[in-house]
Amino acid sequence: MSGQALPYSQRPEWADVVPVRVEEGGKVVAIHYTPDHAEALSYFRAVLRSGELSERVLALTGDMIRYNQADYTAWRTRWVVHEGRGSQAVLRTCRILYVPPSWAISVEYLLLSTPHSHVPRGP
């Protein structure tokens, strides 16, 4: 993210990923992204296409959520990455990211009461 880290294109751990840019032409209404958000989104689109679910994807989903907290795909991908690590890892991550206080209880309840093999489909 801006001011906090190197752009993804300059990070050695992302050198093997070819970003998938958002096409600008032919849209009735285009979404304007900041340059940092657009770059992160292009790497996120690349890992979604490849199916990669690694620690670096987990970090990338954190940036995507910071850019847009309503990004369902980023939250869903983050959940899937965490699924193999157990619910306690998910709880720790949810506390690190901004979660409005009104959501905190329901998030913890969901994670502690949902069987590990079940992945929620939405709110």
* CB 17 within 8 Å of CB 46: yes
Residue 74 in domain: yes
pLDDT tens-digit profile of 14-43? 999 999 987 766 777 878 889 999 999 999
Residue 54 in domain: yes
The predicted model scores a pTM of 0.67
Residue 41 in domain: yes
Taking the C-alpha atoms of residue 57 and residue 81, their distance in angstroms, rounded to an integer, is 8
Whether residue 56 is predicted with pLDDT greater than 60 in this model: the reply is: yes
Residue 28 in domain: yes
| φ, ψ for residue 37, nearest 5 deg | -65, -45
Whether residue 4 is predicted with pLDDT greater than 50 in this model: the reply is: yes
Residue 45 in domain: yes
Domain total of the chain: 1
Taking the C-alpha atoms of residue 72 and residue 52, their distance in angstroms, rounded to an integer, is 17
Residue 119 in domain: no
By residue range, what is the domain housing residue 94? 8-113
